[in-house]
Each structure stands twice: as structure tokens, then as C-alpha cells.
Chain A
Amino acid sequence: MKQIRQPVLFRNFEQIGLAMTDDVILKISNLSKSFGPVQALKGVDFELRKGEIHALAGENGAGKSTLMNIIDGILQPDSGEIYLDGKPVVISSPAVAQKLGIGFVHQEIALCPDVTVAENIFMATTNVSRSFLMNYRALEKRATEVLGQLGDIDPATLVRDLSISHQQLVEIAKALTLDCRVLILDEPTAALTEKEAQVLFKIMRRLAGKGISIIYISHRMVEIFDNCDRVSVFRDGKYITTRSVAEIQPDDVVNAMVGRVIDELYPRKQSDSEKTDDIILDVRNLSERTRFKDVTFQLRKGEILGIAGLIGAGRSEIVKGICRLEGDVTGEVSLNGRQLFLKTYRDSISEGIVYLSEDRKGDGIFLDMSIAANVSALKLEQVATPLGLIAGAREEAQAESLGKRLNLKYGALSDPVSSLSGGNQQKVAIAKMLSVNPKLIFLDEPTRGVDVGAKAEIHRILRNLASSGVGILVISSELPELIGVCDRVLVVREGRISGEVTGAQMTEENIMHLASVGAKATIH
């Protein structure tokens, strides 16, 4: 596995020379940015031509977001220059970026949920408006015009009442109303259905035709190769290359992104000898009033089962429903052949079913509490005397042994978790799960916000757990992760399981197809 293959893009490339300088609208030169000891951008160059759709590719942490945040004025570079139309500019705030004609659609939806779609779309316009009173009628009329090209959304509805994909469209509409020359789209299709995505691509091409330059960030190679003109690759805060999509293959981009053979990122798959028919988890006809319906699947001993689906399709809701974290659930759940009647998540924990949250800081860990106190939180009785006194030594011993098992890097066990890196914080969250010797772990986005090294480690931990007989179910938005780690992937679409892929069928295309279009028959 240790073969070092030189990524294809290094073979014989020169950076695309820019013969026609007038062509370039935005030029980044030798840009650097550090956050404390972490250097997020190391002397990055980037050029955007007028009227092109330019894809940015790179893993999480490659520096794409930092670069985009600098272009939008949210962050300031430590050194380096930005040229707009050949003139050096200082973009000191998003308001300045907007004035310069730079629009940014963020990946996270940042709308005000309690006001109408129209008011959200024209938030920036209202902000600079000189009139004293709001003209709602005019706002709604203009909003209808902008939305007309995107989809069927009533401008008078409150944003909180929209689906995630419609909210995403409102975000895009918001950017379209700004008179921008450079439009940055950060994973705009993550929450969209395929149909909505196609509409978006059409709009993107029309905008490009009008001379607007678009920076398009996506993990989906198909989208990049179908819709973009050029692609720039970043890795570990460094600019790697820019190529026209016509002259390269998706694999080249992936290899340039990773900078090594992908096999190393993921552990081995389940071996044939590990394949059994022992079923750990058997879920039948699980339904929730609004979130999912008739979900039926099995998790076998020794395998890592994945769940894929668009944001909002109900992936997390299904597993949270199984362990009774939320939702009003009906249906049958059996663990190791015994039917369970769980009422609360506490029941679930005592049966050995635990859930690792997708939102680590929001609901996964206690940031300001010690590592030891975090690890013991699930079952304090384990480190306490019968009278309910916490035995500090036992608590630390528990954290220490789990920390060792997960290769946790820390100063002292009494340090607050906030002192750790994202990857190590995640390991604390996993240690918390393991502290109760679970029979089944649901991991929701187990490597979100985790660097590549820790990511590979977490993947290995999952494989070892699965081999030792613990049921492992992984939810992830990163398809390469699901494909790399799981032995079988279920795809959820609009609250139902729309299909299942295994072995060679596990491709991004198949999963995306099931996630956005769905299929009656299982692909095999």
C-alpha cells in the first residue's frame, strides 16, 4: 500500500500562461494567511477570467474557504496581493467586496428565518437604501422576478417555512440581485435535488454568457466536468494547478487534491472471512410522522454500513429516531435478534446504542469541561461509588485508556476539550461513545472539520470496531468517505430508502442518482 505514485498533474504541466491579460478579471498573487500556528494559505496564486466558470477543487482544509473568505473581505490576508481588473485592491469587508462587484453564496445558509423570502433577498439592498419606509409591494414584485428563473417559491412566505433546498435557492437569488462581476458559489448543490441543480447550472451558464465570472466550489467531479471551464486544485493551503477541464480527467483532479494514492486515506474493506449473516440491527417499517417513512434495513456483524443522501433527506433523523433522540417513531427495531422497546435515549444507551452527533461543538462535546469529564458523561455511574461520589482517579483512568486506544493527543486529562484540535476533539467525542462499551454506534459525519491525518485514523478506528463485532453505521455527506470506508451504502431520498449499493456499485454517480432521482429497484 505504500507505493508512492506521482499525481498525474505533476507530470508535465506548466501553469496556464495568461497571454491575454485583459481577459483576467481577478488575480491573486502570492497570498498567505495564518491562524495562529496553522498556515491556511501558503503563497497562493489564482486567476479568474472574465465570463468563465472556474471550479475550485480541494479537500476540506485545503484552503479554498479561506481564499474565498479573503476575496469576500471576511478575512484579511497576512501578505500577498489581490488585483481586480489589473488594479490592486484591498477588500477590507464584505461590504467593500459587494461594492467591487463580488458576490458570495455561502455553503451554510445564512438567512433570517423569521422574515419573508423577499425581505431576505433584498437584505443588502435595503441596507443601503436611502428611503425611510419599506416598499414591500415593490420588494415582492422584484423578488418574484428573480425567483422566477430559479423555481416556484412564493416571495411572501417566511424563510423558516421553506425546505432546505428552497432556502439554498433563496441564497442564490440573493446573490443574483447584487450587480456582481464575480460570483462565488460554495457547494451550492449540496442541498439541491438534481433537477434544481440543473436549473442552477443553466443560470450559471447564462450569467457567464453575460460576462460574469463564477468561482464554483464543489466536491462532485461530475458537476465540475459538466459545467465548468477550468478547474484549480488546492492542497494543504497550497495552489497546485489550474487546467482546462477539456484536457484532464476527473481522476487527475482527485489525485492532485489528495496528493497521494487514495488507498491510504481509507482502511481495508471487510474481508470475505469477516462476512457473516449475523444481524446486529434489524429495522422494520420505521416511520416518523413527517420525516421518514417505512425505513427497513439490516446491519450485519463486521460490516460498516453507510447512509447517503442529500441534506434534509432524513439521514440523521432516521438514526436519531432509532435511538429515540428525537421524533415520534413507529416501527420495529431489534438488536441482536431481540426486539427493543426504547422510549428515551437513556434506554438506548443502556441497550448499548449510541449516537455521535454531526454537530460536534453544538451538541457533541462540552467544550469548556475537561477531557476526563467529557469521556465519562454518558454513564457517570461507571466512575462513581455506589453513593454517587465521582472517583476522580477512576474517571481519569477511563479517559486515559480510551485516549490511548484512540491515539488521542492531549496535554493533561484535566485540560478543557477546547484546547484540542478538531480531530482530537472528535476523538474525545468517540471516546465518550466507547466508554459505555456500545454494541452499536451511529456516527453522523464522523470526520467533519477534521484534518486528513486524523480522518484516516478515525476511519481505521471504525474498521477495527467493526471487526471486533461492534455495529457501525456511518452517515456522511462526503461520498468519497462513504465509498472509501463502508462495505455497503444505503441511500435516503425524501425520507425513504431509495436504494442500496455495495462493492463495485459504490460510485458517486450511482449514489447521487439514487439520492436525487431515486430508483424503484435496488442497483446491484
Chain B
Amino acid sequence: MEDAVSVAGAPNGKPADVSFIRKLLRMRETGLIAIILVLFIVMSFASPYFLTWVNMRAMVMAFAVEGIVVVGMTILLISGGIDLSVGSVTALAMVIAGWLFLNGVDPWVASAISIAACTAIGAFMGFFVTRVGLHHFIVSLAIMVIARGACLLGTGGRPLGLFTLPPEFKFIGQGSIGPIPIVIVIFLVVVIGFDFLLRRTTMFRKVFYTGSNEKAAAYSGIRTKRVVFFTTTLCSALCGVAGIIYMARFGSAQPTFGIGMELNVIAAAVIGGASLKGGSGTIFGAILGAVLLSVVSSSLALLDVSVYWQDIIRGSILLTAVSIDHYLVKKRA
């Protein structure tokens, strides 16, 4: 993964052209890798279970699906937006697909409909942001509550057991190719694919222009509203994809799934270098942020730290990362 990214990052292969900003980002990414490695070393001494295959697999599985949402969130943050509804929309994806399946719809068709519905929710938010002119924060806050309500309404508040899901469908969430779980394959495809798109395509360059300075982008003839509409929709669509994978993995649709997910996802993106002001961020960095949070969670669990402390520590990590980010931005200006 690292190889693919660094190749994409230096399209000219001219080391002399490495800019200050890129150095800075690379520094941040190297810094994250270093922190993660240190955690690994410390934990491998602290807990005999940490470096086991089972634990590694569990850790990767824990952030892989959420990682797909992190990708959507990072792109949205780069364009200057934010989405608080990711957890609810992911849950709603499970609920819609699960409900349709229980009512006799083919699971693949149900999944397609569910992802389409999530995309429509994103488009709906995009409409309120770009046409009505409301802030992302408010719109997604409202959708967060509405989608959660819809989940509870559709299920009566109880998880939908989907025991009859065909095995080939469950394979998405539970199967593996050789030693590698399918979930991780999907995750890597999404991450590498979007990382490439973000770095190299004109379409996604416009996302950076828009987030960096929306007015300047408009004054360069970029249809910034379309860009924001697109990134908002994309984020929800990726939530839909994540929801379906979760459903395949758990074999059930849980209406209360993903509460607080937005914190994790935004934290990962910001720790990885995305700015809440828009205009900067990388997929690679955001995924490293997700890895870090996941390693911390796993470590704390293995060390028998109380769940309540875990939240306090996660929150503190976020605060520290954002402070560093703010300091660096101020230093640059």
C-alpha cells in the first residue's frame, strides 16, 4: 500500500521537486507511522496476545470497513464540508437492505437499492448545502437524527436477524482469499483507488481548489457547488457500501450500529492531516489516522483499561492531533 501511494505521490520521479508542503505531509505521515510502530513494539512486550495473528486480523477488520467511510469523509473534508450522519447512514444502509431481504428481495438487489438510497440521502444533504445554502454541520446533524430515527422505525428498535442470507453474500463480509479477508481486499481497492483519483485526476483536483478557496475556485470557472454536491453525495454513498459489508459480516442489520462513528472517522481524517477548513488532506494519512486509533483501542482493551478511560484517551489523542495541525497551519500562514 505504501509503495502504491508513494509512487502516485511523486508522478515526476524528481526528488528535487519535493516541496515544503509535501515534506510536511510526509513528515506527518512518517510521524504517524513512527508512532504506530512504537505502539506495536511497546504492546508486543506488554501483551503476549497483541502480536498474534488473531489480534492483528481483528484489528484490521475493525478499521477496514470504517476505513471506507474515512475515505469519503476525507474527500468531503478536503472540499470544505463535514458529515456527522455517517454512523446513522451506515446503519440505515444495513436496515434498508436487511428489511428488503426479509421481504423477499434478492440480497444483491437489496444491497444495490440500499446503496442507491444512501447516495440519495447524500444528494439530499448536498441539495440543502449547495442550493438552500445551509451549513454542512447543521444539515448532517439533522440527517444524523432522521436516519437514526428511520433505522429504529424500520426495525422496531431490534436488530434484524438475517440468518438466511446466502453464503455467497456473507462471503463479502466473512470470506477470505487465502489468508486475506475479502473485507480487506475491498478496503484496499477503495483506498488505493481513491488515493490515485485524488492525486491525479482533474475531477478531484477541483475538490482541492474548492476547499482551499471556494471563491477563488469560482473565480477560476470551477462550479464549486457541483463539487461540494458531489463530495457530499460520495461520502454517503461510501457509507452505504460500508453498511452492506457490515451486514454481510454480522449477518444481521443493527439499527443502533455506528453511534459515535462520526467522531472516529473525523478524528482519523484530521489526525491524518485533513484540515477542517478544507483544501488539504490525504487518503493515506487519514487511513494511518484510522490505524492509529484502532491500535490504541486494541491496546487499551488488551491492557484491560476500562472502556470509559478508552473514550477519554481517544478524545485526548484527537485534541492533541488537531492542536498540532492548527499550529502547523498557523506557522505556514
Contact = CB atoms under 8 A, between A and B. Distances in A.
A377 B209 CA distance: 8
A368 B219 contact: no
A398 B218 CA distance: 21
Nearest to B24: A416
8 closest cross-chain pairs (CB), A and B: A414-B19, A363-B215, A392-B11, A380-B202, A366-B212, A346-B221, A377-B220, A349-B221
B216 A368 contact: no
Interface string B219-244: 11111000000000000000000000
A377 B18 CA distance: 20
A253 to B, nearest CB: 37
A419 B221 contact: no
B304 to A, nearest CB: 44
B216 A370 contact: no
Contacts of B279: 366, 368-369
B200 interface: yes
Most buried by B among A345, A369, A379: A369
Interface string B321-333: 0000000000011
8 contacts: A325-B218, A345-B218, A362-B213, A368-B212, A391-B11, A392-B12, A414-B19, A415-B21
Given A344-B221, A368-B332, A377-B216, 4 more contacts: A345-B221, A369-B279, A379-B221, A381-B202
B213 A363 contact: yes
A523 interface: no
Nearest to B203: A388
Most buried by A among B202, B218, B333: B202
A138 interface: no
A369 B205 CA distance: 11
Contacts of B194: none
Contacts of A384: 201-202
Interface residues of A, number: 39
A351 B125 CA distance: 34
A378 interface: yes
A345 B219 contact: yes
A416 B208 contact: no
Given A380-B202, A381-B202, A414 B332 contact: no
Interface string A327-363: 0000000000000000011101100000101000011
Interface string A423-440: 000000000100000000
Contacts of B219: 325, 345, 355, 357, 363-364
A418 interface: yes
B185 to A, nearest CB: 24
A391 to B, nearest CB: 8
Contact of B217 (A344, A377, A389, A414): A377
B21 A368 contact: yes
A390 interface: yes
Interface in B1-40: 11-12, 16-22
Most buried by A among B200, B215, B220: B220
Contact of A389 (B17, B20, B200, B333): B200
Most buried by B among A362, A377, A415, A419: A377
Interface in B194-214: 200-203, 205-206, 208-209, 212-213
B297 interface: no
Interface of A: 325, 344-346, 348-349, 355, 357, 362-370, 373, 377-381, 384, 388-393, 396, 412-416, 418-419, 432
A384 B209 CA distance: 16
B19 A416 contact: yes
Contact of A414 (B22, B206, B213, B215): B22
A414 B209 contact: no
A369 B209 contact: yes
Contacts of B218: 325, 345, 363
B79 interface: no
B20 A377 contact: no
| Interface size range of chain B in the complex | 20 to 34
A432 B11 CA distance: 22
Contacts of B11: 391-393
B254 interface: no
Nearest to A380: B202
A380 B12 CA distance: 18
A369 B201 contact: no
Most buried by A among B21, B223, B280: B21
B221 A415 contact: no
A259 B304 CA distance: 76
Nearest to A366: B212
Nearest to A392: B11
Contacts of A391: 11
B133 to A, nearest CB: 16
Contacts of A346: 221, 223
B73 to A, nearest CB: 20
A419 B19 CA distance: 11
Contacts of B203: 388
A436 to B, nearest CB: 9
A390 B212 contact: no
Contacts of B217: 366, 377
A365 B213 contact: yes
Contacts of B280: 368
A370 B200 CA distance: 14
A390 to B, nearest CB: 6
A384 B200 CA distance: 9
Nearest to A376: B205
Interface string B276-311: 000110000000000000000000000000000000
A396 B220 CA distance: 18
Contact of A370 (B12, B21, B332): B21
A385 to B, nearest CB: 9
B28 to A, nearest CB: 14
Nearest to B16: A412
A393 B12 CA distance: 6
A370 B19 contact: yes
Contacts of A419: 20
A396 B201 contact: no
A184 to B, nearest CB: 28
B218 to A, nearest CB: 7
A380 B205 contact: yes
A368 B208 CA distance: 10
Given A363-B215, A368-B279, A414-B19, A390 B221 contact: no
A345 B217 CA distance: 11
A378 B220 contact: yes
Contacts of A432: 220
Contact of B206 (A344, A345, A363, A380): A380
Contact of B17 (A363, A368, A414): A414
Most buried by A among B201, B215, B216: B216
A391 B11 CA distance: 8
Given A357-B219, A368-B279, A416 B21 contact: yes
A381 B206 CA distance: 12
B201 A418 contact: no
A357 B216 CA distance: 9
A381 B203 CA distance: 10
